[in-house]
């Protein structure tokens, strides 16, 4: 029996799947946590408690002010491995009719391969968004709900939560926003930012814009400094509302992601839990990163990852007795906030 010949090599399949753009997810579209390739499966996150302060003037040529040494600490994280098995079987092609350029044609291995690559790309894109969402929440999990890293526990800090109590008409929402801003700015230390944004659930967003102390700015004072914009913004397949108030840009993140339970059943997990939100600084120097680790494959050992890429690696195996071709894909990534004390959980208890 002749050997099955896949029309592409592993290298070509890997190149092709990485050419498919990642169009999934609001966080991906916002450019939060850009990709950074690493040559090791381990990444060290360093943090220092050195202070920045105003320098004293001195005579020219005189002795300079000597600053105290920074106390440097660090944690080492292992980049998780996300493998997935798929296959092209005889039934995917045999007896299947497809419409191509207006003509009905039999199914082909080439077209089925292209379809599988798109599916593989989407699965890894969703996983990347899920890991980044976990980064903002401070709790990074995998697709079966297992905790990979609790960032607050790792860094030894307590999570800051601000209860907006949006069901209370008399609460000062501007003051709540200022509490968020103050906490973020105090904890920036040596970092910089150009603003604060928050991804919030639909219920939180609706309660916010309907609150008496917010709605009046929207309806009666369109030009007020506190209220600059409200509308819908289509980003990363998310048709969510956007509202800037109290110098915080609130973004409604609709939808959910499919995850598996330990028993294998698939359920939907909301991108942002009902009545919740997660605020974070924008325009930072390097606070948020998605680290891409090396590929787990003998042919790729000690080979660097392309700068700025989202490496998805594919290897193939011909199944016994001509039953099809197995496709194994993998990505190795970890999204991290290097200063989780700058993240704030938003909630409303009523």
Instruction: Please tell me whether residues 254 and 301 are part of one structural domain.
Output: no
Q: Given pLDDT bands bounded at 50, 70 and 90, which one contains residue 3?
A: low
pTM of the model: 0.87
- The residue that leads in pLDDT, 65 or 196, is 196
pLDDT of residue 109: 87
Contact 237, 23 (CB under 8 A): yes
Task: Please state the rounded mean pLDDT for residues 242-263.
Answer: 90
Instruction: Please tell me whether residues 207 and 343 are part of one structural domain.
Output: yes
Task: Please state the rounded mean pLDDT for residues 250-256.
Answer: 94
Instruction: Please tell me whether residues 16 and 118 are part of one structural domain.
Output: yes
Instruction: Please tell me whether residues 262 and 301 are part of one structural domain.
Output: no
pLDDT at 57 over 80: no
Instruction: Please tell me whether residues 96 and 135 are part of one structural domain.
Output: yes
Domain of 120 in residue numbering reads as 10-48+76-146+289-336
17: Cβ–Cβ under 8 A, 6 or more apart, which residues?
117, 120, 121, 312, 314, 329
Contact 346, 162 (CB under 8 A): yes
β-pair type (160-163, 139-141):
unpaired
Q: Given pLDDT bands bounded at 50, 70 and 90, which one contains residue 23?
A: confident
Instruction: Please tell me whether residues 184 and 326 are part of one structural domain.
Output: no
Instruction: Please tell me whether residues 295 and 255 are part of one structural domain.
Output: no
Number of structural domains, the chain?
Answer: 2
Instruction: Please tell me whether residues 167 and 234 are part of one structural domain.
Output: yes
Provide the CATH number for the domain around residue 134: 3.15.30.10
Instruction: Please tell me whether residues 257 and 129 are part of one structural domain.
Output: no
pLDDT at 346 over 70: yes
Element (DSSP H or E) covering residue 345: strand 344-347
Provide the CATH number for the domain around residue 236: 3.30.1930.10
Instruction: Please tell me whether residues 343 and 204 are part of one structural domain.
Output: yes
């Amino acid at each position: 029996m002749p050997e099955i010949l896949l029309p592409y090599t592993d290298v070509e399949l890997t190149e092709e799947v990485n050419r498919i753009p990642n169009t999934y997810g609001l966080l991906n579209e916002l450019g939060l946590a850009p990709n950074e390739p690493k040559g090791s499966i381990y990444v060290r996150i360093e943090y220092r408690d050195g202070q920045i302060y105003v320098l004293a003037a001195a005579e020219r040529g005189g002795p300079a002010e000597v600053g105290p040494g920074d106390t440097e600490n660090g944690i080492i994280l292992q980049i998780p491995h996300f493998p997935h098995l798929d296959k092209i079987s005889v039934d995917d092609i045999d007896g299947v009719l497809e419409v191509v350029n207006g003509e009905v044609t039999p199914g082909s291995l080439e077209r089925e391969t292209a379809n599988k690559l798109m599916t593989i790309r989407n699965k890894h894109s969703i996983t990347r968004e899920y890991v980044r969402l976990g980064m903002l929440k401070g709790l990074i999990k995998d697709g079966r709900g297992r905790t990979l890293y609790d960032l607050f526990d790792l860094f030894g800090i307590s999570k800051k939560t601000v209860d907006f109590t949006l069901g209370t008409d008399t609460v000062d929402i501007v003051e709540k926003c200022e509490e968020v801003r103050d906490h973020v700015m105090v904890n920036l230390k040596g970092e910089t930012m150009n603003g604060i944004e928050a991804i919030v659930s639909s219920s939180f967003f609706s309660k916010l814009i309907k609150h008496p102390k917010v709605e009046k700015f929207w309806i009666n004072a369109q030009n007020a400094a506190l209220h600059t914009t409200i509308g819908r913004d289509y980003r990363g397949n998310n048709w969510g509302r956007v509202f800037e108030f109290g110098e915080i840009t609130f973004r409604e993140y609709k939808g959910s992601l499919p995850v598996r339970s330990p028993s294998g059943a698939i359920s939907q997990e909301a991108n942002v839990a009902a009545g919740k939100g997660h605020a974070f600084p924008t325009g930072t120097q390097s606070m948020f990163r998605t680290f891409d680790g090396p590929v787990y494959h003998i042919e790729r050992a000690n080979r660097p990852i392309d700068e700025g890429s989202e490496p998805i690696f594919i290897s193939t195996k011909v199944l016994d007795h001509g039953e099809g071709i197995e496709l194994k894909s993998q990505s190795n990534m970890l999204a991290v906030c290097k200063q989780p004390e700058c993240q704030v959980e938003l909630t409303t208890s009523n």
